[in-house]
Amino acid sequence: MCMMGNSLSKQYTSSNEKRSSLSSEQSTMFDEKKASAYNLKADNLSTELRGLKLDQKDGEFNSITIDKLQSWEKEIYEDSKNRLAQNVLSKNAPDVAFRESSYATGLKNRFFFNTEVAVIGSPEFKNNQKSSGRCWIFATCNVLRSKVIKTYNLPQDKFQLSQTYLFFYDKLEKANFFLENILDASDEPLDSRLISFLTSNPVNDGGQWDMIVNVLTKYGAVPNEVFPDNEQAMRTSKLNYFLTEKLREYALILRKLKNDNYSAEEINKVKAAQMKEVYKIISLSLGSPPKPDETFSWEFKNKDGKYFHFETTPKEFYEKHINFDTTTNFSLINDPRNPYDSLYTVERLNNVHGGRPISYVNTDMDAMKAVAIRMLKDNEPVFFGSDVGKFSDRSTGVLDTNAFDYELGYGTCLNLSKSERLQLGSSSMTHAMVITGVHIDPKTNAPVRWKIENSWGDAVGQKGYFLMTDDWFSEYVYQIVTSKKYSDKKHYDIWKSGKYNVLPYYDPMGALA
């Protein structure tokens, strides 16, 4: 089977500084600048071509001819396996036709874990993001609700936080952040890459860890029953379309006012009126949530039937009843393109104007996995970001780089390394979930597979739980969130230093899960 290869912008790390700390993976990458120097006699050609077979009968190739097509077709049909593959693919998708089904794979990917968190909350209860991009909010709520369930001895299938409450205020803040960016970049041409980027998706459903910290810190949180999902929260495309078009309209107004030298006071009055309309659009769509200081009643019975009643506010509920200290929690990432043991942020990436910056401490994969294991052994679920669409089987819930034997079917396989996938835009953080367990090999003490709580409801995977192999973790996990308690001291110190290397706004590390 084929295996895959393993405004602060002035502070951006130079290319020379990056090259000095390149990983071993990067040092063997194909150098396209040297490609012209290669010839058929080069000793390293087969390595550079990554297994591509050359036909020594072929000379210079400039265009596709009928003779060439006939030759290619003849070669395909000389191997009867290709005829079989063609027949199978005519009626089945590749991920069905080439699904690995060996006994060894089945044993490796069974849902059995010798280390699991004791309390997490049920995937069956209010844990389906439906047709929305709110996975990062659901993942956060799944981490935070475990604290509440543990504190008050609640049934795991009876409590969840309101994802829509956090979603409402994130949408509102993103709209404001977008308009501030538009004003800041008003001297850019309307067709510039930056303006195109800003206006492409200003109120994206997705987000990052520090964004949810910004919302929690400013607005608090509430139980699900206080502000539950509605139709627009579960299917966000129409709201996003209307709101995006309105914000583009407002962007043109603000740009003209700024470039026509209207005063800051006049511009701010216009922006305030725009934000009032934005609030109305979101409120009519999602409903009107409690204000951060507005009192609501929270009442429940615990596992023993004991009744509790609290009069509280969203801010107080977050600070007192969830009691999760975000000030010591930060993101570790694995980005082999860039030097490890360094702090990164992404230009113009945030949701709250003036909020906590998006912060990533880059580290090697072994260090990241060690932190995750320490957390799980201490009953702490792990928020993480990954590229869930790669080598994944939604029906079984298995994420495995060997899930599909493409070499068996196509006679060739995928050879891009993790850093190359990032460089070419073929992979990024697309989905946030929660790690709730790991199976550690008792002989080698190495992780074999990881248990995941997803946010796609209980009709997929194993009643809402997924499994990722350790190889898949290495290739497609980019981020975990940890704290001072579990991280290496050097990584915590790097995070606290605030000495950012700023990635450009279009960098894949700016992707929103």
pLDDT score of 1: 52
pLDDT score of 10: 35
The Cα–Cα gap between 350 and 221 comes to 19
- Dihedral, CA of residue 153, residue 154, residue 157 and residue 161, to nearest 10: -120
User: Structural domain of residue 121, as residue ranges?
Assistant: 115-510
The answer to whether residue 88 is domain-embedded is no
Which entry of 109, 135, 141, 351 is annotated as an active-site residue? 135
CA distances from 254 to 186, 202, 267, 278, 440 (A): 8, 15, 7, 15, 56
pLDDT score of 47: 73
The Cα–Cα gap between 338 and 507 comes to 12
The answer to whether residue 441 is domain-embedded is yes
The answer to whether residue 168 is domain-embedded is yes
pLDDT profile of the chain (513 residues), mean per 10: 44 36 38 43 69 74 87 93 92 88 79 95 96 98 97 96 98 98 98 98 97 98 98 98 98 98 98 98 98 98 97 98 91 98 98 97 98 98 97 93 90 93 96 98 97 96 96 98 97 97 97 94
Identify the CATH number of the domain in which residue 263 sits: 3.90.70.10
pLDDT score of 14: 35
pLDDT score of 97: 87
Q: How many domains does the chain have?
A: 1
Tell me the backbone φ, ψ of residue 144, rounded to 5 degrees: -70, -35
**Catalytic: 135?**
yes
pLDDT score of 4: 47
- Report whether 480 contacts 332 (CB < 8 A): yes
Q: What pairs with residue 253 in β-bridges?
A: none
The answer to whether residue 311 is domain-embedded is yes
Can you say whether the dihedral through the CA atoms of 292, 293, 294, 300 is positive or negative?
positive
**Contacts (Cβ under 8 Å, ≥6 apart) of 326:** 213, 216, 217
Tell me the backbone φ, ψ of residue 214, rounded to 5 degrees: -60, -45
**Catalytic: 431?**
yes
The answer to whether residue 371 is domain-embedded is yes
The answer to whether residue 425 is domain-embedded is yes
Helix (H) or strand (E) holding 385: strand 382-386
The answer to whether residue 193 is domain-embedded is yes
Which entry of 321, 431, 439, 491 is annotated as an active-site residue? 431
Which entry of 109, 334, 402, 454 is annotated as an active-site residue? 454
**Catalytic: 141?**
no
The Cα–Cα gap between 383 and 428 comes to 16
Tell me the backbone φ, ψ of residue 212, rounded to 5 degrees: -70, -30
The answer to whether residue 87 is domain-embedded is no
- What end-to-end distance do the CA atoms of the chain give, in Å? 31
- Report whether 7 contacts 347 (CB < 8 A): yes
